[in-house]
Amino acid sequence: MRFGVLGPLTAWTADGTPAPVQEAKVRALLAALLTQGGRPVSADRLVLDLWGDEIPANPLGALQTKVSRLRRAIGRDLVESGPAGYRLRAEVDAAEFADLLAAAQDAPPRERAGLLVRALELWRGPAYAEFADEDFARPVAQHLEEQRLVAVELLGAARLELGEVAEALAGIDEPARRHPLRERLHAVRLRALYLAGRQAEALTEYAGLRTRLATELGADPGPELAGLHESMLRQDPGLRVAVRSRTNLPAALTELIGREHTVRAVRALLTRHRLVTLTGPGGVGKTSLALAAAEPGPEYPDGVWLIELAGHPGATACTAAEIAESVAGVLHVRDDSGAGLAAHLAEALRDQRLLLVLDNCEHALAPAADLIAHLLRAAPGLRVLATSREPLGVPGERLEAVPPLAPADAVRLLTQRAEAAGADLSAVTPEQLSALCLRLDSLPLALELAAPRLRVLGLTELLSRVDDRFRLLTTGGRLVPPRQRTLRAVIDWSWDLLTEPERIVLRRLAVHAEGATLAAAEAVSAAPPIPAEDVLDLVARLVDRSLVVVADGPRYRLLESIGDYARTRLGEAGELAEVRDRHLACYLELAENARLRDAGQREWLPRLDRESANLRRALDTAVETADADRALRLVRAQTWYWFLRGRLSEAERQLRLALSVPGAHPLRDTVTALLTGITLLRRGAADPDIRGQALEESTMDADTTWFLSFCLGYTGADLTASASRLAEVSTVDPWLRAITLATTSYLTIMRGDLRTAAEQAAESLAVFVDLGEVWGRSQATFALSTVAEITGDYPRSADLRGTALELAQEHGLWPDVADQLTGLARLDLLTGNHSRAQARHEQARRLSVEHGYHTGVIHAELGLAMGTRRTGDLDTAAELFHRVLSWHQDVSYAPGIALAHAELGFIAELRGHPEEALAAHTTSLTAAEISGDPRAVALAKEGLAGAHSLAGDYNQASTLLAEAAAHRAATGAPLPPAERGDVDRIEARIAASVQRQR
């Protein structure tokens, strides 16, 4: 909520909608609280403010009524009460006005004027309008009105400094008429009249003001007014200083978008550094930024002057003396000394305070740097703002890299320029505009060139043609220099400034996708005539020249436009095939050396994340060159990484791509088996052909054998086949031994042997802890937590799963995160926290959907179904259970079929349908017996007992409950109290029947 007192009292919601406060006393209460600026006001004081001498019979009760009504109108939390009284927590326009006025005091003229305009725009009328005459508001309102006049005076003076005489007069005429005796206000107006060429009118107004002061106040004009009058009579040249030209900066033709913060930052840098150089690639907007930041002001009494070096004849070969001629010409410095122009220029600037803007210094880097250093040494009042695609290397230089626009600003620039060119964007979405901006690196020049094309091509067609950007983005405006009329011309200019070794390394770097480490850059770029030891220096020089971007890591990346250009140059040099081959070799070695089965997992997972684009590009090379060996090796090396990260769709796509390369190879069966496993996880093994293929694979190593058996068991495709394959896995390797134990422990739990399962999981966990491997530790922990859950030790189970969840989240193991969330949600159900269970299940489902992890989706939906049944939403529960049942039937997963039918049977019983319940539980019992899980058998018999009890067969129901209890006792895990809801209901029904028979 925001409040306005600079005019009629108003309240606005966060979206700017007025919030009416209509009752007079409630409005008065709000105004009284606002006058205190957040300080508490006693109840007695508020009573006096609201009622004055007409105090109500119960004043405190009446006040509380008004406070309650105010809270209803603006929000209860905003009006606080305490021992000291009531206070209002409020955002008020008067406070914003005061902040803007304070900020304007010491700001440069242009910024000062802008701040004051914003401050005065907040006013909508007299302060505290309807309450201005009330005792509680009068002093505050009078103070605000005085500050308003101060702002008017300061704005008029600032506009005169800027030479904006007409604007100054327009803003001060009316206030001067309303305040005929305010000297400072009239001083600004008189000076404005004089500067506007209305000297006689100014002198006449001064005489009238002097008469009013004498008549009404018995006083003479103050020193400022008297001095101004004398200066006007003498026609003092000093009065003209404000309109004297102190700059040759061109006026901006378009709005500078997205650089507001950077403009302020550059101005701040110039107060602390005598040389500031804006660096960045061509087209990033260095010149526009420099012109916006280089504002004339009192700190530069001798002006702000632009020298454009790109337009200098023979710029790449000129001398410091020739650049000095350009500077001297702009500053109107004549050389009559014979000592040389550079020396004479230094002498002329020695006592001046000015800012020189040297644009495009990269075109004459060494001579520009020499002259700047010479002038800075000679003239202590000189500041230089330079733009260059690389640093000048002058001592004391402060570099400020200019990045491409932020995504939102890039869209705003493209939209504004396209609409100005007549493009119709009504059917274009922000996402489409963002995609185009991303493809153009958010470079302002590229966006400016693309905007007019939107009118002709439309966005979809333009996006489809961006790959041919150098032909597409041409024909800039007529006022734009030729070097900036096409995107290619901008980059050509930078390319022409490079040495031959720099060009070679730049074009070789272009083969990388989304950047490269220094080691990768050296591995790919080092080949005759570039030795490996030279690559670092050459890359550093390309960074200095703003052609290579340094990102965290560090990584060295080319903007997409520069990358496209450099790849074209790579092809023209005839190097494309050999450089791509070195790139493939580099990233194959990286993938095959990744350590994902020990403590190196923490380092290597993020490292492979960063190199994903390069690994995809390497595979493309292998496929395009029909290199089956390296294609199959590359995807085999990455499969475990894809699994851990939950990138199953990418894994399936890349594995199929590698297998599409023709030719016999020893790894083909292995990669086919890996694809089978990934497909099992992605699609839930619903396709019987996939299950059959999984069972037929034979020529696999131990790793692949384990992986396939894991996928078979995890998706419920075939538990027997899974156990059989696990028995084949070699246990020589510690990681394989540990993960085989963890996987086997799940199968052991299903058979009801909880003690053995716990021993297997504990042994597995110990190995994984020694290895420092997080995913395996999570698997073993999950098995232990499941045993704890079954035996009713919920705190231990929650602690184990919580620890595993934290580790999985920390390492970005997203499928595992989904599984751990589902496990914790199951515990929430068992402990009665249904709302948290639902939230966790839904989070697990979202994660699983995001990562194409179909098995995780089913597990989460099973949990949601169980939760909705227990909270009484039988229709939703039935819908979810039927969906879960369908999946389990597709994969012939007996435990899942048994559980889903049991739950559907309980729903039928709760609905009062004994025959339907009996059929469901009978099917559940059949599936449970096939699974061999005694707990599933017990659940089915408990369900049958419920169906029989509902049908009136209480003896059979009692027998079935006794059998179920025996099955549970045999596993060492009797039904825990939290899971007794169904059994308690059935027992109560049986007991009631016995009671009736008595």
Q: Name every residue whose Cβ is closer than 8 Å to that of residue 456 and which is 6 or more positions away in sequence.
A: none
Q: Residue 555 is inside which H or E element, if any?
A: strand 555-557
Residue 374, pLDDT above cutoff 70: yes
Q: Name every residue whose Cβ is closer than 8 Å to that of residue 347 and which is 6 or more positions away in sequence.
A: 337, 378
Q: How far apart are CA 543 and CA 539, in angstroms?
A: 6
CA dihedral of 850, 854, 857, 863, whole degrees rounded to 10: -160
The pLDDT of residue 221 is 86
| pLDDT range class, residue 923, cuts 50, 70, 90 | very high
Q: Both 460 and 371 in a single domain? A: no
| pLDDT range class, residue 242, cuts 50, 70, 90 | very low
Lowest-pLDDT range of 482-496, 773-787, 967-981: 482-496
Residue 243, pLDDT above cutoff 50: no
The pLDDT of residue 732 is 73
The pLDDT of residue 293 is 94
Q: What are phi and psi of 42, to 5 degrees?
A: -65, 155
DSSP-derived pairing of the beta strands 79-82 and 85-88: antiparallel
Q: Both 360 and 419 in a single domain? A: no
CATH code of residue 276 = 3.40.50.300
The answer to whether residue 380 is domain-embedded is: yes
Please compute the mean of the pLDDT values over residues 121-126 and round it to a whole number. Answer: 91
Q: Per-residue b/e over 660-670, b at no fewer than 16 CB within 10 Å?
A: ebeeebebbeb
Three-class SS of residue 10? Answer: strand
Residue 970, pLDDT above cutoff 80: yes
The answer to whether residue 795 is domain-embedded is: no
Lowest-pLDDT range of 144-148, 251-255, 920-924: 251-255
For residue 242, the 8-state DSSP code is: G
Residue 479, pLDDT above cutoff 60: no
Bond before 977 cis per omega within 30 degrees: no
Q: Which long-range contacts (CB under 8 A, 24 or more apart) does 323-331 make?
A: 323/364, 323/367, 323/368, 323/371, 324/371, 327/356, 327/371, 327/375, 330/248, 330/305, 330/306, 331/305
Q: Report the chain's C-alpha Rg in angstroms.
A: 40
The pLDDT of residue 324 is 86
The pLDDT of residue 964 is 94
Q: Which of 339-353, 569-583, 691-705 has the highest mean pLDDT?
A: 569-583
For residue 401, the 8-state DSSP code is: E
Q: 416, 911, 936: which is closest to 719 by C-alpha? A: 936
Q: Which of 47-61, 114-128, 614-628 has the highest mean pLDDT?
A: 614-628
Q: Vertex 945, ends 941 and 948: CA angle to 5°?
A: 135
Q: Which residue would you say has higher pLDDT here, 354 or 457? A: 354
Paired strand residues for 276: 385, 398
Three-class SS of residue 326? Answer: helix
Q: Which residue would you say has higher pLDDT here, 411 or 562? A: 411
Please compute the mean of the pLDDT values over residues 100-112 and round it to a whole number. Answer: 84
Q: Both 373 and 272 in a single domain? A: yes
Q: Which residue would you say has higher pLDDT here, 670 or 452? A: 670
Q: 247, 260, 316, 268: which is closest to 288 by C-alpha? A: 260
Residue 315, pLDDT above cutoff 70: no
What confidence tens digit (pLDDT) does each residue in 359-371 have?
989 878 889 999 9
Q: Token digits for 555? A: 């990584």
For residues 758 and 748, the answer to whether their CB atoms sit within 8 Å is no
DSSP-derived pairing of the beta strands 275-279 and 397-401: parallel
Q: 576, 572, 603: which is closest to 590 by C-alpha? A: 603
Q: Residue 94 is inside which H or E element, if any?
A: helix 93-105
Q: Both 363 and 265 in a single domain? A: yes
For residues 25 and 50, the answer to whether their CB atoms sit within 8 Å is yes
Q: Both 414 and 459 in a single domain? A: yes
Q: Both 397 and 334 in a single domain? A: yes
Q: Name every residue whose Cβ is closer than 8 Å to that of residue 133 and which is 6 or more positions away in sequence.
A: none
Q: Which of 401, 430, 451 is the last residue of a domain?
A: 401
For residues 619 and 671, the answer to whether their CB atoms sit within 8 Å is no
The pLDDT of residue 478 is 45
Q: How far apart are CA 580 and CA 586, in angstroms?
A: 10
The answer to whether residue 149 is domain-embedded is: no
For residues 546 and 279, the answer to whether their CB atoms sit within 8 Å is yes
Q: How far is CA 865 from CA 290, 789, 878, 972, in A?
A: 62, 19, 7, 27
The answer to whether residue 518 is domain-embedded is: no
What confidence tens digit (pLDDT) does each residue in 419-435 have?
887 888 888 888 989 98
Q: Token digits for 457? A: 């091509």
The pLDDT of residue 239 is 74
Q: Vertex 893, ends 889 and 895: CA angle to 5°?
A: 115
The pLDDT of residue 353 is 86
Lowest-pLDDT range of 573-587, 879-893, 903-917: 879-893
Q: Both 315 and 440 in a single domain? A: no
Q: Which of 374, 401, 428 is the last residue of a domain?
A: 401
What confidence tens digit (pLDDT) does each residue in 680-712 have?
888 765 445 555 555 455 567 778 888 887 887
Looking at residue 887, its amino acid is W
Q: Which of 488, 519, 546 is the last residue of a domain?
A: 488
Please compute the mean of the pLDDT values over residues 659-681 and round it to a whole number. Answer: 91
Q: 498, 481, 499: which is closest to 490 by C-alpha? A: 481
Residue with tokens 């632009």: 306
The number of domains in the chain is: 3
| pLDDT range class, residue 904, cuts 50, 70, 90 | very high
Residue 715, pLDDT above cutoff 80: no
Q: Both 938 and 956 in a single domain? A: yes
Residue 987: CA count within 13 A, CB half-sphere: 9
DSSP-derived pairing of the beta strands 549-551 and 397-401: unpaired
- What percent of the chain has pLDDT above 90? 48
Instruction: Please give the residue range of the domain that contains residue 966.
Output: 893-998
Q: Both 379 and 425 in a single domain? A: no
The pLDDT of residue 411 is 92
Q: How far apart are CA 828 and CA 172, in angstroms?
A: 70
pTM: 0.63
For residues 668 and 681, the answer to whether their CB atoms sit within 8 Å is no
Q: Which residue would you say has higher pLDDT here, 506 or 74? A: 506
First-last CA distance in the chain: 69
Q: Residue 903 is inside which H or E element, if any?
A: helix 894-910
CATH code of residue 994 = 1.25.40.10
Paired strand residues for 388: 279
What DSSP letter does each residue of 350-382 carry, written as one string? Answer: TT--EEEEEE-GGGGHHHHHHHHHHHHHH-TTE
Q: Name every residue whose Cβ is closer than 8 Å to that of residue 497 and which is 6 or more positions away in sequence.
A: 316, 362, 363, 389, 545
Q: Name every residue whose Cβ is closer than 8 Å to that of residue 335 and which is 6 or more positions away in sequence.
A: 328, 341, 344, 345
What confidence tens digit (pLDDT) does each residue in 627-660 have?
999 999 999 999 999 999 988 889 999 999 999 9
Looking at residue 391, its amino acid is P
Lowest-pLDDT range of 173-187, 228-242, 522-536, 695-709: 695-709
| pLDDT range class, residue 341, cuts 50, 70, 90 | confident
Angle at which helix 138-161 crosses helix 109-121, to 10 degrees, equals 150
Residue 950, pLDDT above cutoff 90: yes
Q: Both 467 and 393 in a single domain? A: no
The answer to whether residue 332 is domain-embedded is: yes
Q: Which residue would you say has higher pLDDT here, 903 or 979? A: 903
Looking at residue 686, its amino acid is A
The answer to whether residue 898 is domain-embedded is: yes
Q: Name every residue whose Cβ is closer than 8 Å to that of residue 542 and which is 6 or more positions away in sequence.
A: 498, 502, 505, 506, 509, 548
The pLDDT of residue 555 is 92
For residues 189 and 169, the answer to whether their CB atoms sit within 8 Å is yes
For residues 905 and 946, the answer to whether their CB atoms sit within 8 Å is yes
Q: Both 324 and 419 in a single domain? A: no
The answer to whether residue 582 is domain-embedded is: no
Bond before 554 cis per omega within 30 degrees: yes
Q: How far apart are CA 387 and CA 397, in angstroms?
A: 12
The answer to whether residue 833 is domain-embedded is: no
Q: Both 372 and 413 in a single domain? A: no
Q: Residue 929 is inside which H or E element, if any?
A: helix 914-931
Q: How many helices (H) and strands (E) does the chain have?
A: 47, 12
